[in-house]
């Protein structure tokens, strides 16, 4: 069926994209990798071989240790919070209530907004000032008589990252809700009916039937949210700027490279981020593409 002209035309048409991906993704990764093994510091490139020195230095760098700790706190609160909240919202919207589509759109709209806008608004909402300068959520809590809720938000020692994660949950929990809801809608109704006839309560149906059936959805949400939290950058910059207390690898990479001109160290942080994302994403890609191709 294929005519000669068409046999090569398809390759010709996609080759610009393939070349672009080859250069801008894989070529640049290799280039970054090479920089991370060099002694480049300052404005002029210096590719003198330095082995894995930069990586070793990072792992004994106290700032990088803070970054890892912060990333873990952020990931735990953000991924856990988004999964739980998203699931609960999906269960509530799955009941066929009136106004369902209104609530669904409402829970999803933060996704259309940039992390910078979210950050600027939450920076004001989470204003840590106390006393007469109190504002934002703290002032709202105080006005409502909910004084125990007044807190220092992202300036809380050690746990400040959890406040940043709250803003991230605001932004992303709608996404988890949407994929859970899509998953719940694809579960055949007969399954629930059968369980109801067996005398199962609504709670038991969700606990014993729906949640286990949605395990693949949970897994993909876990991976998508997890890889996002490794990359978190804009949100923290917009809420708190560059503070050591709220430092993460992406910000350290930024400061090392563009403020401090420690290009080799910056590249090494970038590569560590890439490797941690790849560990999550590659098995996920293999799994999804495999299940995709067998309908």
List the interface residues with another protein, window 71-130 (CB under 8 A). 88-89, 92-93, 95, 97, 103, 105-125
- Determine if 158 is a binding residue for another protein (CB under 8 A): no
Nearer residue to another protein within complex by CB, 20 or 52: 20
Distance CA(289)–CA(271), nearest Å, equals 25
Output the DSSP codes for 243-264.
-GGG--HHHHHHIIIIIT--HH
Size of the site for another protein (CB under 8 A): 100
Residues 54-73 that bind another protein (CB under 8 A): none
- Determine if 230 is a binding residue for another protein (CB under 8 A): yes
Provide the mask over 178-197, with x wherever binding to another protein is found by CB under 8 A and - wherever it is not.
xx--x-------------x-
Q: Is 34 exposed, middle or buried (0-12, 13-18, 19+ CB in 10 A)?
A: middle
CA distances from 212 to 38, 128, 182 (A): 49, 41, 15
Q: How far is the CB of 142 from another protein (least distance, A)?
A: 10
- Positive or negative, the CA dihedral 22, 26, 29, 35 is negative
CA-wise closest residue to 143 among 153, 152, 156, 134: 134
- Determine if 10 is a binding residue for another protein (CB under 8 A): yes
The 8-class DSSP code of residue 51 comes to T
Residues 236-275 that bind another protein (CB under 8 A): 237-238, 241, 249-250, 253-254, 257-258, 263, 266-267, 269-271, 273-274
Q: How far is the CB of 76 from another protein (least distance, A)?
A: 19
Neighbours of 60 (CB within 10 A): 8
| CB contact set of 230 (below 8 Å; sequence gap of 6+) | 71, 75, 249, 273, 276, 277, 280
Stretch that binds another protein, among 56-64, 66-74, 177-185, 207-215 (CB under 8 A): 177-185
Residues 19-38 that bind another protein (CB under 8 A): 20-21, 24-29, 31-32, 35
Q: Which of 221, 229, 247, 262 binds another protein (CB under 8 A)?
A: 221
CA-wise closest residue to 249 among 56, 38, 58, 40: 58
Residues 133-152 that bind another protein (CB under 8 A): 133, 135-136, 139-140, 143
């Amino acid at each position: 069926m294929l005519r000669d002209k068409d046999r090569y035309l398809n390759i010709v048409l996609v080759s610009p994209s393939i070349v672009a991906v080859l250069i801008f993704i894989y070529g640049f990764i290799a280039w970054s990798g090479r920089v991370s093994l060099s002694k480049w510091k300052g404005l002029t490139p210096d590719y003198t071989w330095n082995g894995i020195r930069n990586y070793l230095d990072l792992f004994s760098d106290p700032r990088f240790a803070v970054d890892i700790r912060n990333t873990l706190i952020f990931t735990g609160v953000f991924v856990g919070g988004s999964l739980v909240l998203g699931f609960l919202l999906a269960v509530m919207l799955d009941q066929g209530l009136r106004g369902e589509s209104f609530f669904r759109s409402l829970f999803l709209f933060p996704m259309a907004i940039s992390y910078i806008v979210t950050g600027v608004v939450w920076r004001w909402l989470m204003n840590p000032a106390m006393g007469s300068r109190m504002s934002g959520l703290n002032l709202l809590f105080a006005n409502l008589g909910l004084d125990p809720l007044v807190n220092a938000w992202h300036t809380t020692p050690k746990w400040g990252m959890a406040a940043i994660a709250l803003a991230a949950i605001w932004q992303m929990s709608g996404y988890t809700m949407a994929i859970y809801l899509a998953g719940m809608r694809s579960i055949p109704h007969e399954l629930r009916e059968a369980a109801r006839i067996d005398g199962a309560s609504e709670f038991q149906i969700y606990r014993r039937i729906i949640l286990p059936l949605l395990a693949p959805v949970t897994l993909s949400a876990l991976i998508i949210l997890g890889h996002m939290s490794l990359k978190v950058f804009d949100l923290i910059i917009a809420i708190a700027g560059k503070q050591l207390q709220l430092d993460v690898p992406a910000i350290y990479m930024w400061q090392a490279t563009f403020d401090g001109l420690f290009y080799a160290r910056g590249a090494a942080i970038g590569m560590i981020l890439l490797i941690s994302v790849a560990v999550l994403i590659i098995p996920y890609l293999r799994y999804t593409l495999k299940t995709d191709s067998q309908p």
